[in-house]
Amino acid sequence: MTTDFYKYHALGNDYIVIDPNIVNFNLSEKAIQLICDRNFGIGSDGILYGPIFTGDKIELRIFNPDGSEAEKSGNGIRIFSRYLVDAGYIKTKTFQLTTLGGEVAVEVLNPEATLFKVDMGTVTFESELIPVTGSPRQTVAIDLPVNDLTLKATCLSIGNPHCVIPGSEVSQELAVSLGAKIENHPLFPKRINVQFLQVLDRQNIQIEIWERGAGYTLASGSSSCAAASAAYKLGLVDDRVKVHMPGGEIDIEIVGDRVFMTGGVSAVAQGEFAKDFLSCLNLLID
């Protein structure tokens, strides 16, 4: 049987891997939307397209379920790393990947390749690099008006943009009610990922996540990095933090302006696109 796709999840955040070395078509926005649709397609929180070999580099493209392209995804990077090991592309314990949001270093932590540590790169709170509109500034504990509320937000980038909202409690209802409004707020010209943060103690935080282009999400690696980095910047936590999410837990380590993430990956399925579905895809591909 031909294998057209591979599906994995990282703490309930699921991605489909499509390998261009196996499946010979370019993904259009509508094709991505159909593949990710949980009623009419395979269903996922996004598509990981790669490996794309450019010289000695391994490139990864990350697509959201709305068809937009993401710069970086912590869970996506771990999932794609697992696929590279499973498919035999990678046989070493350490390697590098190239994403739209920059280079990342990956370490395989166990023989089963179910646990990975990723150097997610540098964190910046500079408004013009996130981006956040207005005069150049550090976007730490800034006022964010949403409807009749004024929230305190700390915004940052780790290759993709994040807005962290601390509070005394977090919930799915809070993320769903405010997430889209913050994602599409005029302050954020490229939209933004949103994390609602509750500090449990200096080594533990709880977050609820609204992902740009995906919506409410059970877990996110880059969101975990962002929330921990924001909490550390605000002086609320130490430099090693366990991030608790509805889908599970990720360990974050902050070293200077760099952030490291450790978390697991599980394989779900692999399969072949049915002829009916492939016909629909062919109609949608530019």
Residue range 6-47, pLDDT digits in tens: 999 999 999 999 999 998 877 899 999 999 999 999 999 999
* Residue 184 assigned ligand-binding role: no
Tokens, residue 203: 């080594």
282 annotated as ligand-binding: no
Please answer whether residues 211 and 155 qualify as being in contact, where contact means their C-beta atoms are separated by less than 8 angstroms: no
Write down all domains in the chain, each with its CATH number in brackets.
Answer: 5-121+266-284 (3.10.310.10), 124-256 (3.10.310.10)
- Can you say how many angstroms the Cα of residue 217 is from the centroid of all Cα atoms in its chain? 10
3-class secondary-structure state, position 192: coil
Amino acid, res. 136: P
Tell me the pTM: 0.93
User: What is the band of 115 on the pLDDT scale with cuts at 50, 70, 90?
Assistant: very high
Q: Is 221 annotated as a binding residue?
A: yes
Write down the pLDDT at residue 280: 84
Range with the lowest mean pLDDT among 15-29, 87-101, 225-239?
Answer: 15-29
Comparing 62-71, 80-89, 109-118, 275-284, the range with the smallest average pLDDT is 275-284
pLDDT tens per residue, range 206-219: 999 999 999 999 99
- Residue 222 known to bind ligand: yes
DSSP 242: E
Check whether 73 is labelled as a binding-site residue: no
The answer to whether 64 is a known ligand-binding residue is yes
Residue 13 annotated as binding site? yes
Distance CA 62, CA 67 (A): 10
Q: Is the dihedral of CA 171, 174, 180, 182 positive or negative?
A: negative
Mean pLDDT for the chain overall:
95
